[in-house]
A and B are shown apart, each in its own frame.
Chain A
Amino acid sequence: MEKKNNKKVIIKVSNLSKSFNNNIVLKNINFQLLEGESLAIIGASGSGKSVLLKNIIGILQPDKGSIIINDKEMVNLPRSLKEKLLLDLGITFQHGALFDSLKNWENIIFKTANKDKTNNRQGKQLAFSIIKQLGLQPEILDLYPSEISGGMQKRVAIARAICGNPKILLFDEPTSGLDPVTGSLIDQLIKKAVRTVGGSAITITHDMASVCRIADKVILIDKQTISWTGTPKEMFVSSNTKIQEFIKPINSEIFFK
């Protein structure tokens, strides 16, 4: 907490509101992501976590508020500048959003392949060096996303996001649908990215064990806004009923740690 003042603010969201027609999804959202910080966003299904992420990356336009990434205001930023800004971000979508007409390795190196003309062999090698950390076998590289399992797709999407070593990671439910062993591989990856590479991460997740492992700070979205903020440890002493509901299933697990 004390360090907060001399750390760089990477993402700053202020007064963000978003609604669809008459359905108010987010109201007056305020938070910051600092350099070297791992932030977890939790909240019930349908609470607007993915909508928040999509606002941050400019896929959805907020009704109100400001989103500053690396000192640049994202809202109403000209397209070409926005694209440039997004290149520093490693993003995964909740449902993968892999390009189904491209092979897995082409998916993974898509961003870098656009910048420098990587040839097939180099590209595959690059893709392989990334999927190794995610517990994937090289055989999947030449397959299409539709030919691998859901959990594998999830990891290919993560590989695509971290290719090129972006400094900011934005992951929407990266561990959902993965077995606990693979899930913890992803957790380690996020932690490593934040601790050793000096990156910053926002992870949307329902997995409270994973929150405890990766997060420096937790944000709860409830009733259209941020209703609780704190560290994972503080969750266990919180009087917020929603937080209590969320941690109930894992309380005992932590006891045994």
Chain B
Amino acid sequence: MIDLFLDILGTTGKKFINFVVNIGHFFIFFGNAIYWVFKPPWYFKKIFQQILDIGYFSLPVVGLTTFFSGMVLALQTYNGFTDFNSESTVARIVLTSITRELGPVLTGLMVAGRIGAKMAAEIATMRVTEQIDALGTLGTRPMQYLIAPKIIASLVCIPLLVLIGNTIGILGGYVIAIYKIGFNASLYLNATMEYLQLIDIIQGTVKAGVFGLIISMVSCYFGYNASKGAEGVGFATTSSVVVSSVMILTSTYIITALFFG
């Protein structure tokens, strides 16, 4: 009995120490990656490829999710607040929810699933097949060539994606408000414009930047440190999606609290 207890304690302790060590490694990786982000020369072709991949090719999935979220929000608000349903209530709730929270978070989660997984799998495969080792022997720094472009591109693209997602989300709300609920279009638009706050946009963009950093750093970290074999690639991929999603949801709370708390 005591043996079992000690055993459990031992494994838990080991796991915990492992966890702490991993966090330490992550922050070393983080600092290193930031250094290479600012260190010339930059691989512009690589950065451009990544921007295309992260930004452009994520547009459909981001557009679709934010559009439907805007629609759902409008419908729910209208049904939930029937007592004082007015153009201004629905418009305001759609606008604030999308710009402050749903736009950034949904975009972040979608990109984490789509791009984070891809980044982690790509880098992990390169690690496992010794391509990263080969890079180092061919006069190229893996951090500079592989990691920095992904981080730069994420930092550029995800805020832009969020701005676009926000617009599409608001449009989704508009479509439902006008064509399903039957609100007056100009009243609704006026209300939307009236409640549009710069601080909300700034907050959303800050979140997007933080999410971009989280997704690229976490995915690159898991990919870069993947262990040998096919399961190493799989583990890196799932870990990066789970960890970056959790970190996105945690950090959105912290940022909200900092701005409006």
Contacts and interface: CB of A to CB of B under 8 A. Distances in A.
A114 B139 contact: yes
Interface in B108-156: 122, 125-126, 129-131, 133-141
Contact of B136 (A86, A96, A98): A86
Interface stretch (A22-30, A68-76, A87-95, A132-140): A87-95
A211 interface: no
A217 B221 CA distance: 43
Contacts of A89: 137
Nearest to A157: B134
Interface string A131-156: 00000000000000000000000000
B122, B130, B135, B137 interface centre (most CB from chain A within 10 Å): B137
Contacts of B135: 99
B130 A97 contact: yes
Contact of A83 (B130, B134, B139): B139
B126 to A, nearest CB: 8
A95 B130 contact: yes
Given A97-B130, A97-B131, A57 B137 contact: yes
A103 interface: no
A59 B131 contact: no
Chain A, interface size category, equals 20 to 34
B87 to A, nearest CB: 51
Chain B, interface size category, equals 10 to 19
Contacts, number: 47
A171 to B, nearest CB: 13
A29 to B, nearest CB: 20
A115 interface: yes
A115 B236 CA distance: 33
A111 interface: yes
Contacts of A115: 139
A93 B140 contact: no
Nearest to A89: B137
A105 interface: no
Nearest to B138: A111
Nearest to A114: B139
A113 B125 CA distance: 23
A128 interface: no
Nearest to B145: A114
Interface in B27-43: none
A145 B147 CA distance: 22
A86 B139 contact: yes
A86 B125 CA distance: 23
Contacts of A54: 133
A111 B139 contact: yes
A99 B131 contact: yes
Contacts of A97: 129-131, 133-134
Closest 4 CB pairs of A and B: A97-B134, A97-B130, A111-B138, A59-B133
Interface of B: 122, 125-126, 129-131, 133-141
Given A98-B131, A99-B131, 5 more contacts: A59-B137, A86-B136, A97-B134, A100-B131, A114-B140
